[in-house]
Amino acid sequence: MSYRFFHAQPPVDAQFTLAGDQAHHAINVMRYQVGDQIVIFDGRGTEHDAEIELLSKKQLTARLLGTRTLDRSLARRVTIAASLPKGDRQKFLIEKLVELGVDQLLPLATTRSVAEVKPKVIARIEKQVIEASKQCGRNFLMQVAPPISVSQLCNTGCEDLAAGMEDAVKLLAHPYDSQSLSEISLAPDQPVAIAVGPEGGFTDDEVARLVDDGWQPISFGPTILRIETAAIAAATIFGIGNTGN
Ligand code: SAM
């Protein structure tokens, strides 16, 4: 696979102009030259082959060679609603959820959450989503919603903020008094949403609220997993591990 760059807009007069991070990566990191071929994807399912025609210090122009629609999504739509860890652990989590084909991330603001998910954090996560998608070949970007509370997740906020979750089986990752994995059986195209709590765990009230709203408690095993391990396990078990892809 040729190296991939993200550009949301379609070509203009059969040309792409890359600037900012994407151009910096191509020019200064990959050290591409005029005549080299690259792949440009738009994050909505279309990718283009292109040949570099012009390079300056901060911008490159590439000529369109061909276009295709290529969907590398899983058969099932997977949503992870997680209280995010901080720093490198957050970055690691985002990268792995993108690689594993998660469609949508809902940052959960719970009573015991430690990372405040401000708009600048969402902007940083969106950049990390693009970088991970470049690397892993994803053509549809993982959607990142604004942070939502447990109440919003349980109420109409769900429909407003989490389009596509309406028919999802809702699972609550919870180490205690829960069903085991073997008790859950889903059709390969059944959408699923999994809620993962903060380091301190969901409060009893939050668990009760989620259960009332139809979230089924499920345990991934007898040990206590950190947030990112639990979220990655959920994405693996219910995503690539259980969809027939
Ligand atoms: N002391 C916390 C508690 O009592 O819940 C541990 C929280 S754990 C570090 C973070 C989150 O990962 C939990 O809220 C839960 O959603 C998920 N999790 C951890 N271990 C799990 C397991 N064995 N099965 C299912 N979910 C798990």
Domains of the chain (ranges plus CATH)?
Answer: 4-69 (2.40.240.20), 78-240 (3.40.1280.10)
Cα separation, 2 vs 234, whole angstroms: 31
Token digits of residue 216: 């089924």
Percent of the chain at pLDDT above 90? 80
Rounded Cα distance between 93 and 85, Å, is: 8
pLDDT the model gives residue 51: 97
Q: 161 with 106: CB under 8 angstroms?
A: yes
- 54 forms beta bridges with 61
For the segment 31-48, what is each residue's pLDDT rounded down to a tens digit?
Answer: 999 999 999 999 999 999
For atom 13 of ligand 1, the residue with the nearest CA is 197
Question: In this structure, what DSSP letter does residue 84 have?
Answer: -
Predicted local distance difference test score (pLDDT) of residue 188: 87
- Residue 201 Cβ inside 6 Å of ligand 1? The answer reads yes
Model pLDDT, residue 177: 79
Q: Which of 174, 176, 211 to mutate to test the pocket of ligand 1 (most atoms within 8 A of CB)?
A: 174
- Does residue 159 surpass a pLDDT of 70? no
Q: What is the pLDDT of residue 244?
A: 62
Q: What is the dihedral of CA 157, 161, 162, 164, to 10 degrees?
A: 100
Q: How sure is the predictor about 86, in pLDDT bands with cuts at 50, 70 and 90?
A: very high
* Tokens 């949508």 belong to residue: 104
Mean predicted lDDT score pLDDT of the chain: 92
157 in contact with ligand 1, CB cutoff 6 A: no
Q: Which atom of ligand 1 is nearest to the CA of 195?
A: 16
Closest listed residue to residue 238, CA positions, set 196, 175, 205: 196
pLDDT given at position 155: 75
With vertex at residue 157, the alpha carbon angle to CA 156 and CA 160, rounded to the nearest 5 degrees, is: 95
Evaluate if residue 164 carries a pLDDT over 70. no
pLDDT at position 160 is 52
To 10 degrees, the CA torsion angle through 209, 210, 213, 215?
A: -160
Distance 214 CA to ligand 1 centre (A): 19
Does residue 217's CB lie within 6 angstroms of at least one atom of ligand 1? Answer: no
pLDDT tens digits for 181-215?
888 888 888 999 999 999 999 999 999 999 999 99
Cα–Cα distances (Å) from 75 to 23, 85, 161, 202, 242, in that order, read 33, 28, 22, 30, 9
Please tell me the distance between residue 228's alpha carbon and the centre of ligand 1 in angstroms: 10
Question: According to the model, what pLDDT value does residue 170 have?
Answer: 94
